[in-house]
A and B are shown apart, each in its own frame.
Chain A
Amino acid sequence: MSNIGSYEDRLKNFAWSIAEDELDYKSGEIINIGWYCSDRICQKGKADKIALYYEGFEGNEKKFTFNDVRLASNTIGAFLKNLGLKNEDRVCLFMDRIPELYFAFLAVLKIGAVVQPLFSAFGDESLFVRLDNAQTRAIITQNKHLSKIRKIREKLPNLEFIIVVDQVRTKKTENREIGFSLEDTPPVEKFTIFPTKAESPSVLHYTSGTTGQPKGVKHVHYSLISQYLTTKWVLDLRDDDIYWCTADPGWVTGTSYGIIGPWSLGVTQCVLDSGFSAPAWYKFIEKYKVTMWYSAPTAIRSLMKAGDEVVKNYNLSSLRHLASVGEPLNSEAVIWSERIFGKQFHDTFWQTETGSIMITNYPGMKIKPGSMGKPFPGITGAIVDSKTFEPILETGKVGLIAFKPGWPAMMRTYWNNNEKYREKFVNGWYLSGDKATIDSDGYFWFIGRDDDVINTAGHLVSPFEVESALLEHPAVGESAVVAKPDEVNMEVVKAFITLKPGFTASSDLELEIMNFIRKKLSSLAMPQEIEYMDNLPKTRSGKIMRRVLHAREWGEEIGDISTLEND
């Protein structure tokens, strides 16, 4: 029997107080995610239980009990507090998936500060705009990422502390840099946790939109209620599970379900800090006897591409439940996983803004391969008309995925951009920006984005951000960026550019521009293909018509081009 039991029964009898009661939380009292994920688990008698199995790319292994996690987060918390960092300060985590990242996440929350995790592959420009927007006061990082911070720190007057977790033994510190070694610091047994309340800010994740700079999605400590219950009912985590979430905590999956969900339930999790390879992943599952695996369609498609033979070299019989997030899970991947693992991947749909799973396939519920599933109990989800914003009752008709606001993990605002936040709510609905249909059984079916944002391997990339960065390259005159279909990543970034006089199109220049964007923004944002054009399609008023290029890439009808200036 799964944790959720009967989905229909849960719908009838649902209240978020189920999670509040299980977490012993009462409205108006203190709620601190850092405490819930470490101290409380120890108080429940699981201090000696393994919280984290860690394996680095060089094969170095470490393991930590919940008491180790409690002490480590206390110790880092005390260090941050001694620096003068306080509640509501923004503290960025800019690290690979090393243990300190997970402990620091809880530590920042324990002092009442706002944790701002950023993907460590971001280039200096991507890093700068996010630190600048959040007015971040401290960043915790590693030696290997320090050069990117050094390039931008003079432009960041609010950034007072650059804490380097592996610097003590290897390097001299420079301006504003402080070395910190968890191993060399005496553990702090008793630590006074800041008394955060339900609406106290907790996590600030950045997400990209079609226009403008990335937006900081502000979450609060009360998000725990959604994250705890969805982890229990959707990911079906149980006390004896060994859980592996493959997401990086630089993205919301890696924190909501890579830290908060499993640890608030006191479940053991594994982390593999290594690039993707099919044999390495299968070996990891076999070695740690992973029972619940939460991954992404891109990874699943990469495993499919690696072939069926490689799986046969490993014993993966420990796997009990599989789920997927980040992009729509194609039916072929669901069917493949059933054939190979004897289990189907369960698609989950949610966003940085929603903070927790919204529409999903539940353990025990019939999966229709390719479908998103049904809304989580307590979530009112609908398909609304894109003009009237009224729910569409007709099955099979495309509309916008929308939710009634008010679930615990819903974002509270976009940082310093409340206007954009308000735009997300129309006619009493939160608009996700994604399109879908509903069938006669109430299953949702994903159609695509309602805007130009590119979803590459489950990560959103803003075409505007890439176009702007392209224009900073000396050879680029104009740029337009669209999604290009990709077998593994679903979409990748493709750029169309015109060159300034004096520059000649060549594959060497293409490579130079690719690397320029990769270093400035990130490898995700790097165009996987650049096409040189004499002119970009524009309206008569001079606006670049991205949709014409998008339609060409996807083999779709171009639609109305009456405003097109040139062919």
Chain B
Amino acid sequence: MDEKNLIEMKDLVLNYIIKEYIDEDEEKITYDTALISSGYVDSFSMVSLLVFLENKFKIKIPSSKATPEAFNTVNKIVDLVNQYIK
């Protein structure tokens, strides 16, 4: 995947997370902001984030791979998603 597409993908995930999980007035969220350990996205909400990723990218992520560590930042999420995009 080229750099431009990768950035677009990261922005797509980042914007979704900001829209759905984070208060609009919150401080700036970046690709490296901790999402799970910060409590922005809790373990129950991870399920809806997983559904979003699977719907949006037409992939299936095994539940064993959908760990708090793998979902902790936008960068890590995109790395995970890329493993399953054909």
Contacts and interface: CB of A to CB of B under 8 A. Distances in A.
Please determine whether chains A and B interact with each other in the same assembly.
yes
A518 B45 contact: yes
Given A276-B43, A277-B69, A507-B55, A526 B48 contact: yes
A523 B45 contact: yes
Contacts of B38: 57-58, 274-275
Interface stretch (B2-10, B17-25, B76-84): B17-25
A121 interface: yes
Interface string B39-54: 1011111011001101
B45 A147 contact: no
Contacts of A306: 67
Contacts of B20: 515
Interface size class of B (residues with CB under 8 A): 20 to 34
Contacts of A508: 55
A143 interface: yes
A277 B68 contact: yes
Contact of B37 (A96, A171, A275, A510): A275
A147 B39 CA distance: 17
B62 to A, nearest CB: 13
Contacts of B45: 518, 523, 526
A280 B24 CA distance: 28
B85 to A, nearest CB: 17
B59 to A, nearest CB: 12
User: Considering residues B34, B41, B72, which has the most beta carbons from chain A within 10 angstroms of its beta carbon?
Assistant: B34
A274 B37 contact: yes
A146 B41 CA distance: 17
Contact of B68 (A276, A515, A528): A276
Nearest to B47: A528
Given A275-B36, A275-B37, A275-B68, A523 B42 contact: yes
B26 A275 contact: no
B26 to A, nearest CB: 6
Nearest to B36: A275
Contacts of B69: 277, 279
Nearest to B19: A515
B45 to A, nearest CB: 4
Contacts of B43: 275-276, 302, 457
A511 B53 CA distance: 10
Given A121-B42, A147-B25, A277-B69, A511 B34 contact: no
A280 B69 CA distance: 10
A390 to B, nearest CB: 40
A144 interface: yes
A273 to B, nearest CB: 7
Interface string A439-466: 0000000000000000011000000000
B40 to A, nearest CB: 8
B68 A511 contact: no
Nearest to A274: B37
A531 to B, nearest CB: 14
A515 B48 contact: yes
A147 B24 CA distance: 8
Contacts of B72: 277
B22 to A, nearest CB: 9
Contact of B26 (A144, A273, A524): A144
Interface string A264-283: 00000000011111011000
Contacts of B51: 507, 510-511, 514
Given A144-B26, A275-B42, A57 B37 contact: yes
A57 B39 contact: yes
Nearest to B45: A523
Nearest to B44: A523
A528 B49 CA distance: 11
Nearest to A273: B39
A40 B24 CA distance: 43
B48 A514 contact: yes
A145 B40 CA distance: 11
A143 B55 contact: no
Interface string A513-539: 011001000011010100000000000
User: Considering residues A302, A457, A515, which has the most beta carbons from chain B within 10 angstroms of its beta carbon?
Assistant: A515
Interface of B: 20, 23-26, 34, 36-39, 41-45, 47-48, 51-52, 54-55, 67-69, 72
22 contacts: A96-B39, A143-B23, A146-B23, A146-B25, A147-B24, A171-B25, A274-B38, A275-B36, A275-B37, A275-B38, A275-B42, A275-B68, A277-B37, A277-B68, A277-B69, A279-B69, A302-B43, A306-B67, A492-B44, A507-B55, A518-B44, A526-B48
Given A507-B54, A511-B48, A514-B51, 17 more contacts: A57-B34, A96-B39, A121-B42, A143-B23, A146-B23, A147-B24, A147-B25, A171-B25, A275-B43, A276-B36, A277-B72, A280-B37, A457-B43, A507-B55, A511-B55, A526-B44, A526-B45
